[in-house]
Amino acid sequence: MAKHLLVLYYYMSILIAVFVLNSCNTQKQIESSKVFRYNEYRNVTSLDPAFSRNPQNIWPINQLFNGLVQLNKKLEVVPEIANSWTISSDGLTYVFNLREDVYFHTSPLFGPNETRKVVADDFVYSFDRLKDPKIGSPGGWVLQQVDEYEATEKHIFTIRLKNPFPAFLGILTMRYCSVVPREIASHFGENFRSNPIGTGPFYFKRWDENVKLVLRKNNNYFEQDPQGQRLPYLEAIAIQFIPDIQSEFMLFLQGKLDFINSLDASYKDELLNPNGSLKSKYKDRVNMLRGPYLNTEYIGIYLDNDNPAIQSKNIRKALNIGFDRKLMISYLRNNIGYPSKKGFIPKGLPGTSEIDINYNPNYARTLVNDFIEETKITPKLKLTTDSNYLDICEYLQRELQKIGIEIKVEVLPTASLRQAKSSGKLELFRASWIADYPDAENYLSLFNSLNFSPRGPNYTHFSNPKFDKLYQESLNLVSDSLRIKKYEEMNALIMSENPIIPLYYDQVIRFVQKDVYGMEINPINQLVIKNIWKK
């Protein structure tokens, strides 16, 4: 009975979604070919860019807001609201010249004209919000390297850094750095999360939490395509919140969703051949987009734990070389992904070292036997994961048992896993790190001792004075080649201590309906809808 009620709930959600879409335009029904539809099974918690901390929030926020600069599909920093900028020779001062044709979405709170142009003072206010403890934004860290900022003229915004930081332009592409209007954000306070006003290609229409989010076309948007046509092409975006991934897949096959993102174990063998290619029966119905993803999947080892096996560098080494990554990806991922044999920095970013974490079960077994002989202890470890990665963790459990390491796998809800990982309650934990910005520093920051969790992302509590020195030196290097050499040295140093077990470098994979055009993938898996159209 419970299962039937769940199915009924899903289809009631669809009916409500149709009603919401139709009610968005009382004059005429929006044609299906003008609406982009996708499901967010993880749900959205805020549409305020100050809280754009995860992909489920970032995707709709990316349609609603703009910042100074943005990334193109090659991960190059290109203009957005700033049409040009200069950087001083010492790398400390950034001067941004703003476009003068960017308007906020309409709102009665703006007064009789119901909108106004974006000016440099708006960026001052937006940056102030990130640092305001009353707001409590998790994105305040993006301004760590900033000394001061000001509106030097009406359309000129100046930022001065404490130290040279070449990755700073990349940080500014993050949605945390979007511009918001003082009149609206201050009026709504914390309720700005559900009353967003931005400058993006779509504006907020309606949000029935846990059911549906609807965005509509911004006819006053400033960007154009290469032919001079104003973006976006579509009239609306409809986002559903169905938590069951299998139901999401069935709706996609029925043509009720325009794309699905990523690959779930529940349907990977239905869509893909073992070699990762799309099965022939779907080639006439579905397009598959696939490419590198700046996402490292890994097992973290909490080094402040008093388990002797965790304190042993040899056991940590054995954990890294005691299983076959290539076989794991082939068997469990249908060859979607790349074996993480070069350490923590993923494929596609400069900074990987000339190292290879090769599968060597005989040497791994020798390291374990030496530990047992020395300590008279059989290494026993607990690995915690969420249900989405249980198959990978059970694979590790079986393979590592062969070399003499006993692994107990524990499953927690995703939110509980995140909290326990941050508070140091887990011995081993499954995790991933998706690039916030396209620079290897973003990955290496997880091993800086100043970033110990819970105040920072160093969940393993790795601490090495030489690493910290190299990390600080790299922040002050303007030369790309010299900085990358530091990155390579740091990556090699991390893997000599083995505070993590890199599993694989992920791939972006999307399955898209045949009538959807213009969708592109990028290595940070950002969803860009302004260039999409349907037939």
pLDDT value of residue 18? 46
Q: What is the dihedral of CA 321, 322, 328, 332, to 10 degrees?
A: -130
d(CA 421, CA 445): 17
Considering only 139-148, 250-259, 343-352, 399-408, which range has the smallest mean pLDDT? 343-352
Please provide residue 148's backbone torsions phi and psi, each rounded to the nearest 5 degrees: -160, 165
Structure-model confidence comparison of residues 32 and 84, the more confident one: 84
How confident is the model at residue 29, as a pLDDT?
Answer: 65
Residue 127's pLDDT band (boundaries 50, 70, 90)?
Answer: very high
> HEC states along 19-68?
HHHHHCCCCCCCCHHHEEEEECCCCCCCCCHHHCCCHHHHHHHHHHCCCC
| Closest listed residue to residue 13, CA positions, set 57, 43, 52 | 43
Q: Where in the chain is the domain with CATH 3.10.105.10?
A: 293-508
Tens digits of per-residue pLDDT, 18-49?
A: 444 444 443 346 788 899 999 998 889 999 99
| pLDDT tier for residue 15 given thresholds of 50, 70 and 90 | very low
C-alpha 313: how far from chain center: 31
- Flag the least confident range among 7-11, 118-122, 338-342, 525-529: 7-11
- For the record, the structure tokens of 82 come out as 């700033």
Residue type, 499: P
Q: How high is the pLDDT of residue 263?
A: 82
SS3 84: strand
Q: Using 50, 70 and 90 to split pLDDT, how confident is the model at 478?
A: confident
Q: Is a pLDDT exceeding 80 seen at residue 9?
A: no
The confidence score (pLDDT) of residue 5 equals: 45
Would you say residue 460 has pLDDT above 90? yes
Question: Would you state the structure tokens that stand for residue 320, as one six-digit string?
Answer: 């890294």
Report pLDDT for 14: 47
> If 0-12 CB within 10 Å is exposed, 13-18 middle and 19+ buried, where does residue 265 land?
middle
What's the token pair of residue 335?
A: 């060859």
pLDDT in tens, 382-397: 999 999 899 999 999 9
Query: Is the CB of residue 261 less than 8 Å from the CB of residue 524?
Result: no
Residues 94-110 have a mean pLDDT of 97
Give the integer Cα–Cα distance in Å for 308 and 371: 10
pLDDT bucket at 370, cuts 50 / 70 / 90: very high
pLDDT of 12 > 60? The answer is: no
Determine the topology of domain 293-508 in CATH. Answer: Dipeptide-binding Protein; domain 3 (3.10.105)
Residue-level pLDDT at 264: 85
| pLDDT tens figures, 422-451 | 999 999 999 999 988 889 999 999 999 999
Going from the C-alpha of 92 to that of each of 171, 437, 469, the distances in angstroms are 15, 19, 21
Distance (Å, whole) CA 312 – CA 497? 10
196: pLDDT strictly greater than 80:
yes
The secondary structure element, H or E, covering residue 483 is helix 480-497
Helix locations, 97-231, DSSP H: 120-131, 168-172, 182-188
Judge whether 216 and 235 are in contact, CB under 8 Å.
yes
Q: Distances in Å between the alpha carbon of 259 and those of 20, 36, 121, 253?
A: 20, 9, 39, 10
Residue 23: the pLDDT is: 46
38: left (phi over 0), alpha (psi -120 to 50) or beta: beta
- Per-residue pLDDT tens for 48-74? 999 998 899 999 999 999 999 999 988
> Does the pLDDT value for residue 10 go beyond 90?
no
Q: What is the pLDDT of residue 16?
A: 45
Can you name the CATH fold of 2-243? D-Maltodextrin-Binding Protein; domain 2 (3.40.190)
Query: pLDDT-derived band of residue 181, with 50, 70 and 90 as boundaries?
Result: very high
Q: Is 70 exceeded by the pLDDT of residue 533? A: yes
Q: What pLDDT, on a 0 to 100 scale, did the predictor assign at position 355?
A: 81
With cut-offs at 50, 70 and 90, classify the pLDDT of residue 476. Answer: confident
* Residue 362, pLDDT above cutoff 90: yes
Q: For a pLDDT cut of 70, what percent of the chain falls above it?
A: 95
| Whole-number average pLDDT of the chain | 92
- List where CATH 3.40.190.10 sits in the chain: 2-243
